Amino acid sequence: MAYNLKEVMANKPSRFTAGHRMCAGCGAPPVARMIMRALHEGDHAVVSNATGCMEVSTCIYPYTAWTDSYIHTAFECAAATCSGVEAAYKSFVKQGKLIEKDGEKTKFISFGGDGGTYDIGIQALSGAMERGHDMTYVCYDNGAYMNTGIQRSSATPKFADTTTSPAGKVIPGKMQSRKDLTQIMVSHHLPYVAQTIALANFKDLYEKAEKAIYTEGATFLNVLAPCPRGWGYPTEDLMKINKLAVDTCYWPLYEVIDGVYHITFKPAKKLPIEEFLRPQKRFKHMFKPGNEWMIEEFQKEVDKRWQELLDLEAITNK
Amino acid sequence: MSIRERLSGNEASAIAMRQINPDVVAAFPITPSTEIPQYFSTFVSNGQVDTEFVAVESEHSAMSACIGAEAAGARAMTATSANGLSFMWEMLYIASGSRLPIVLSLVNRAVSGPLNIHNDHSDAMGVRDAGWIMLFSENNQEAYDNLIMAHQIAENKDVMLPLMVCQDGFITSHSIENIELIEDDKVKDFVGKYQPEHYLLNHAEPVAMGPMDLQAYLFEHKYQQAEAMRNAKKVILDVADRFEKMTGRKYSFFEEYKLDDAEIAIVCMNSTAGTSKAVVDELRSNGIKAGLLKIRVYRPFPVEEVAKALSHLKAVAVLDKDDSVNAAGAPLFTDITSAMYACSNVHIPIVNYIYGIGGRDTTTKEISRVYEDLQEIAKTGKVENPFRYFGLRKGGK
């Protein structure tokens, strides 16, 4: 059935309720809500959440924003925790301790920010993915440790001004390029890996979430989720920022199914990277006279990674 | 009829796990506990258990996966040693704070650094405040028996705390000794089924676990956890009673070996108790009233009972296979002295010996010397230096 936003919103209940305490203009809650909506009606889910903004704002005792079972343990082990829940499920089904109706399914979904995924949680993530647990790991990537107050992570883009990579008189922000976690996950030879974002009608996000959740085995979604505090954009501009990330090819949308790359959106006109950088305060210093080289270098890196992706698509579809 | 066997501590522990048949085992290899998941994997491979075995990529993930599984409603078990337990440290607190009765087999080994794979108790002592019930085992039989009793203690509604069973690395884990095993069906009945009140895979009642727990609630939740640890004392004795009815083997908080009429005594844990018993017998045959108190239940620490058991003595030596490196006495010593101060009206001279660090051999000769020291202390009633070592080269060089 073709995706229709109105139908999805009207007919599928939200499994991530209003009343959570995430910031206005944060990219993460619409992502979580839409991914949970991609679950089929009647199916159950257990969510495992890494410590981070999402966890501390959606499950404050004695409240929870999650209508499905939910577990948080620590920062670096959402994937390992989820793998234990999934192992318990398998054991129960094998022993007849959990009997499900015909067609009824239980799905396992982990959510972690880039800090909990690219950095401190990468070992547990890699382990769980390699072991092939039937689970989906979702990284909502806002490009820094936002929960603790905007510290650089390995997902932080080059030159970004963060509290541990401040743009100073000598060092102009973070001096390293970002890690490409999606590629690392592809190298695990998983049945489904995708990079996505919340665009206007959520089609790309919803469809990839559904595929990830309902593909048997370990699957991975990397979702860019802007942070108004860390990135420095007006809260109402979230969807604009998302669109610019995609139109400049800073955040390409693609999926890798059994090793075959499919770029799911190719902008008719690839916008220059300034369009994405300019509205964000974290890149403000790059626009000072004399710093043109920073923008040029940033553009080169974006172009290089985009071309690599085009090449990978061409090679794997031969 | 029980089954007579000859097994190492690791083999005995793996067999106990097979008989318990947990839903999930998540483990990572580390000397000297590696054999436990290794033997257990063959039970899984051969279809002798219903367990999902999760061969995790680290001990941190082993405990995380056990937490996930236990929270999901499963019985989850693991085994580790030394640095493996240290790596789990963060998750040990989350397991107990989340009130998940996970059972862990700890094969005691020195924590790095420098690296050493042999036995002491620094691993267990590093987690003594993590909110886990801690049982110590003199030999393979006790390691096995403690594991069989573990779930009935940990899963009791008034307890709901994780539990670790300790045994000495190599000395117990790798030595083959006689053992009496219980029949599979008897263990199955004894261990029973785990039926948690709330669990993640209860589709009729989704539940959120591990919330952000702030100033308004955490204190009460921690108090409830402390209450559970206090409640565990009665449950441990109840389970020991049931176990005795099944096997004839008697367990309590500690074992008193010729302590009733003793004038001097050693307090120690795990395999050193076996060595000390031989010395006590020798001294007794020479008319010296020596005794031994072997701690089995280290957490909850049976303060009143320990104080009562020791208060008739003239001198006590507490042997610690760990050094707190605090210039103030090792863990068991401070626990014992604090129990004596809080729960006894008599002042008894007590001396601390740190010994056996990093697998240094502990001999009957050395234990005899401790009793000689105690005789001297009993005579004078004075302890010149309460912080001592034995088995250490002269000057520590």
The answer to whether residues B27 and B103 belong to one domain is yes
Does A106 sit within 8 Å of B67, measured CB to CB?
Answer: no
What band does B150 get if pLDDT is binned at 50, 70 and 90?
A: very high
Chain B residues with beta carbon closer than 8 angstroms to that of A61: 211-214, 217
Report the chain A residue with the minimal C-alpha distance to residue B57.
Answer: A127
The answer to whether residues B177 and B232 belong to one domain is yes
Chain A residues with beta carbon closer than 8 angstroms to that of B210: 59, 71-73
Provide mean pLDDT across the span B361-371. 98
Residue that terminates a domain, selected from B222, B247, B272 = B247
Q: Is the peptide bond before B300 cis (omega within 30 degrees of 0)?
A: yes
Strands B297-299 and B133-136: antiparallel
Report pLDDT for A157.
Answer: 98
Q: Which of A64, A76, A87 sits opposite B69 (nearest CB)?
A: A87
CATH number at residue B378: 3.40.50.920
The answer to whether residues B225 and B371 belong to one domain is no
Which pairs with CB-CB distance under 8 Å and at least 24 residues apart come from B338-345? B338/B303, B339/B301, B339/B303, B339/B304, B339/B306, B339/B307, B340/B306, B340/B307, B340/B310, B340/B311, B342/B303, B342/B307, B343/B303, B343/B304, B343/B306, B343/B307, B343/B308, B344/B307, B344/B308, B344/B310, B344/B311, B345/B311
The answer to whether residues B241 and B330 belong to one domain is no
Chain B residues with beta carbon closer than 8 angstroms to that of A123: 57-58, 60-61
Q: Which of B54, B72, B214 sits opposite A131 (nearest CB)?
A: B54
CATH fold label, A5-316: Rossmann fold (3.40.50)
Residues above pLDDT 90, as percent of chain A: 98
Provide mean pLDDT across the span B165-180. 98
Report the chain B residue with the minimal C-alpha distance to residue A68.
Answer: B206
Provide mean pLDDT across the span B282-306. 98
Provide mean pLDDT across the span A187-196. 98
Q: Which residues pair with B113 in a beta bridge?
A: none
Provide mean pLDDT across the span B203-232. 98
Measure the CA–CA gap between B69 and B102, rounded to whole angstroms: 9
Please state, as a whole number, how many other Cβ atoms lie within 10 Å of the Cβ of residue A235.
11
Report pLDDT for B135.
Answer: 99
Does A66 sit within 8 Å of B69, measured CB to CB?
Answer: no
B205 to chain A, minimum CA–CA distance in Å? 8
The answer to whether residues B208 and B161 belong to one domain is yes
Report the chain B residue with the minimal C-alpha distance to residue A110.
Answer: B68
Q: What pLDDT digit, counting tens, does each position of A221-247 carry? A: 999 999 999 999 999 999 999 999 999
Evaluate whether A5 touches A201 at the Cβ level (below 8 Å). Answer: yes
Residues of B with CB under 8 A from a CB of A: 23-24, 26, 50-52, 54-58, 60-61, 64-74, 76, 90-91, 94, 98, 200-203, 206-214, 217
The answer to whether residues B98 and B218 belong to one domain is yes
Please tell me whether residue B180 adopts helix, strand or coil conformation: strand
The answer to whether residues B292 and B200 belong to one domain is no
Q: Is A268 exposed, middle or buried (0-12, 13-18, 19+ CB in 10 A)?
A: exposed
Report pLDDT for B270.
Answer: 98
The answer to whether residues B21 and B133 belong to one domain is yes
The answer to whether residues B111 and B155 belong to one domain is yes
- Domain containing residue B56: 3-247
- Where would I find the beta strands (DSSP E) of B182-314? 208-209, 254-257, 264-269, 290-295, 297-299
Q: Which of B30, B23, B217 is nearest to B103 (CA)?
A: B23
Does this model's pTM top 0.80?
yes
Q: What pLDDT digit, counting tens, does each position of A242-301 carry? A: 999 999 999 999 999 999 999 999 999 999 999 999 999 999 999 999 999 999 999 999
Average pLDDT of chain B, as a whole number: 98
Report pLDDT for A2.
Answer: 85
Does B208 sit within 8 Å of A71, measured CB to CB?
Answer: yes
Residue B1 has pLDDT above 80, yes or no: no
Provide mean pLDDT across the span A19-31. 96
A64 to chain B, minimum CA–CA distance in Å? 7
Does A91 sit within 8 Å of B201, measured CB to CB?
Answer: no
Evaluate whether B81 touches B31 at the Cβ level (below 8 Å). Answer: yes
Give the containing element (helix H, strand E) for A9.
helix A5-11
Residue B232 has pLDDT above 90, yes or no: yes
Provide mean pLDDT across the span B176-193. 98
Measure the CA–CA gap between A25 and A33, rounded to whole angstroms: 14
Q: What pLDDT digit, counting tens, does each position of A161-177 carry? A: 999 999 999 999 999 99
CATH number at residue B151: 3.40.50.970
Report pLDDT for A1.
Answer: 63
Chain A residues with beta carbon closer than 8 angstroms to that of B57: 123-124, 126-127, 130
Average pLDDT of chain A, as a whole number: 97
Q: Which of A44, A83, A95 sits opposite B68 (nearest CB)?
A: A83
Q: Which of B303, B318, B382 is nearest to B352 (CA)?
A: B318
* Helical pair B35-45 and B9-20, crossing angle rounded to 10 deg: 40
- How many domains does one find in chain B? 2
Q: Which of B23, B203, B217 sits opposite A88 (nearest CB)?
A: B23
Evaluate whether B189 touches B246 at the Cβ level (below 8 Å). Answer: no
Residue that terminates a domain, selected from B224, B247, B270 = B247
Q: How many CA atoms lie within 13 A of B329 on its CB side?
A: 16
Q: What pLDDT digit, counting tens, does each position of A38-68 carry? A: 999 999 999 999 999 999 999 999 999 999 9
The answer to whether residues B98 and B227 belong to one domain is yes
Q: Which of B54, B64, B209 sits opposite A70 (nearest CB)?
A: B209
Q: Is A314 exposed, middle or buried (0-12, 13-18, 19+ CB in 10 A)?
A: exposed
DSSP state string for A30-46:
HHHHHHHHTSPTT-EEE
Domain locations along chain A? 5-316
Residue A302 has pLDDT above 90, yes or no: yes
The answer to whether residues B192 and B285 belong to one domain is no
Q: So what's the ipTM on this one?
A: 0.98
Residue B383 has pLDDT above 90, yes or no: yes
